[in-house]
Structures are given as C-alpha cells and as structure tokens.
Amino acid sequence: MMERIIAFVRPFIKIGVLLIIVAVVFSYAMFQGGFVSWFLFYSVITILCLTLVVTLFSFRGFHVERRIESKQLRSGDSLRITLTVTKKPWHPFFYIHVRDLPPEDLGKVEGAGALFFFGLQKKLSFDYWVHDVKRGEHLFRNVEFVLSDLFGLFDKRTIIFEESKVLVYPKFQQLPVVPRGQSTKVMDGASPSKRIEEERSLAGVRSYVPGDRLSSIDWKQSARSAALMTKEFESYQGQGVTIAFDPYVEKASSASFEAAVELTASLMVSLMGKHPSVQVAIRQSQWLKLSVHDQTTSIPLRVLAKLEPTQTSPKAIASIYEEWQGSTVYYVCAELTDSLVQALEAMKTQGIHLYVCMVDMTRSNNLYAKKLRQLGIEAQSFASS
C-alpha cells in the first residue's frame, strides 16, 4: 500500500521541486540584479526546457545488439558479453542507463549495466562478465533502458527485446582410472578407428574380397603373389561399450545431478580413445542412443547440456536391454533406489556386464552399493572434480 502511495505522489514531488528551483533562481535575480544573477536564471530556464524536451523523446530510434564471445562453453567458465546500443544521431540525451537482463540461472553476473551521460554519439557500447556459468541452454531476451534528465527529475523506462542463446556444455575431463570392459560383442554399425586397427596384432593375410578396406591391403604380399592380399587382424570382440545415463532423481540434490552429468561426459571422452565402439544412451521417455566418434562428440554433449532430472523411475524390462546383452555398460546415475536396483538386477540376468558409476556416495547409496555387489554388479565411485 505504501509503495502505491509513493508511486502516486512522486510525480507531484518532482514538479514541486522543479517549481521551487525556478522560484529561487528568479527571486535571486530580482533582488540581486546584475548580469550574473540574470545569466544564472536564464541558464537554469534553458536547462529545464531541455529537460522537458528530452522527456518528449521516445525510444523508437534505439537498436540493441548483443554479442556473446563464445556460444559453446563448459560449466564453470567465464563469459564476456558486449552490448552495443545504436541510436539516431539527432537523438540527444542527458542521462541514459542501459541494463542487460541475463537469465537468472546463468551464473554470477558482474556489471550488466552502464551509465552514459550527455552526448550525441551514434553508438554506445559496454562489456560485462558472467562468471561460473551453469550447464544448460540459456536464452537472453530483454534489455532495459532508462532515459532521464540532468537532474533526474523525470525518467522514462522501456524494455527492448533482443534474443540471444548460449549453450553451456557440462564440464568434463580425462579420468585417470576407468574400469576395464568385458564385452563379448561389438555394437552394431560401429567401425574401428584407424589408430586402434593399427594397434591390433596381425593374424595373417588372405585374398582380397570386394568391400575390404583399402587401408588393410598388404601391398608387399600383393606384389609377391601378383594379386591383392588383405591383412587379417585379431577380432574386435570385447571392445564395444555403452555409457548409459539415468537422470532419475528422487532425493538427490541438484549438485549431485550435475556431478552425474559431468561424470557421463568425462566417461565418454575417456573411453572414446580406448574403444573403437562407444555408445551413449540417455534415458528420457525412451532410451536415446547416440554413437560417439571424433566428429560426433558435440551431439551427445549437446543432449547432456540440455538434460533435466526426471522423477520417473527406470523400468525393469526394456527392449534396449536385449541390445546390451554381452556388452559392457557403464551405468551412471545420481542416486541408487529400490526401483533402480531392480532394473540393474534385470540387466544382469540378461548377460550385461554392468559398472554402476556414481559421484555422491552417501550412506543410502553405500547400502544399495553393497546389495549390488552381492548381485555381482560392481558399483564404482568417482571423486567429484
């Protein structure tokens, strides 16, 4: 109630102050006389007239451009943003306050506004920083303008719409120790990298068959036998792995969920250099499957960047479990629950080699981890970075 009264009375107070200033200066000129006193009076009148003129201007000639230094960041990085205001050259101002309105959950904002005083410049610009940016896709929308006079008696406010997006990936790193996979089959559609192919032991040579890789041709043997010969390497059995992330959260904190997302990304970058076939599976309404290669790393990272926790518990029966039979699955989650333990037990019975990967090993999670070990499922704890 008090705020409404103050807002209603404020314009009358400003007008009263303006009239008092004019009366005081006029009285001084009348009683004092002389050039100086009348010069002061006319100067004040001129400034006040300009003040009134400024209040008549609109924001129609203003244009805002927001330039983001990097649109792909990792969680915890710092972001510099440049805001440029362009106006018509004939549009004067005594005082203007420009303030960007970044998303509240973006990070720690430092200096998102700037004051500009009297001038006729066509362009005004300033930089500000956002520290410790948070994972996710963040949308900038509005910029606030406050146009005022020299004394601050009158001001006009408006919001100018300027949309910008910035995507913040989860933070990831190379993990020093990762449990070794025990797969007995390779993921469908996976093709080993050249570097891993070269690391395998040569088992022998055979005649070339249309469809064989040209890089596998043994040119020396081909020259001796006057026919194309292809190198045969040891089998890829035991190389395909899957990183499965379950965003199910029942009691875990948001910090635990963020740590689980970062662990998923770290496992991905750590395993892709050691295995020819790495697949990322993320549980949403259905399991989303993504193959990981050097050129496609950004795709699963983009999905992880936008991922939100869910309160829907995993099912004990799912069609994707049949695809995982005989392969190694690194199952990442923020917390362990009864429903999740039942789902993991069902996976184990289907011949899936499971490693449950976690960061926040609370007392409750430790109790569930003991149950998993009794079922023959390894529960691995990774230190949070």
Domain 63-169 is found in CATH 3.30.200.20: no
Beta strand pairing status for 93-101 and 287-292? Answer: unpaired
Alpha-carbon distance of 205 to 252, in angstroms, equals 55
CB burial of residue 110 (10 Å; 0-12, 13-18, 19+): exposed
Same fold, 63-169 and 241-381: no
Name the token pair of 177.
């120790």
Alpha-carbon distance of 288 to 283, in angstroms, equals 6
Low-confidence ranges of the chain (pLDDT < 50): 184, 186-200, 234-238
Name the token pair of 156.
């006009």
pLDDT, residue 264, reads: 93
Name the token pair of 258.
């963020």
pLDDT, residue 223, reads: 80
Tell me the CATH number for domain 241-381.
3.40.50.410
Where do the structural domains in the chain lie, given as residue ranges?
63-169, 201-233, 241-381
Alpha-carbon distance of 139 to 161, in angstroms, equals 12
pLDDT, residue 118, reads: 61
pLDDT, residue 156, reads: 79
pLDDT, residue 209, reads: 64
Find the length of the chain.
385
Name the token pair of 375.
């079922």
What is the pTM for the complete model shown? 0.71
Give the alpha-carbon dihedral of 221, 225, 226, 227, to 10 degrees: -70
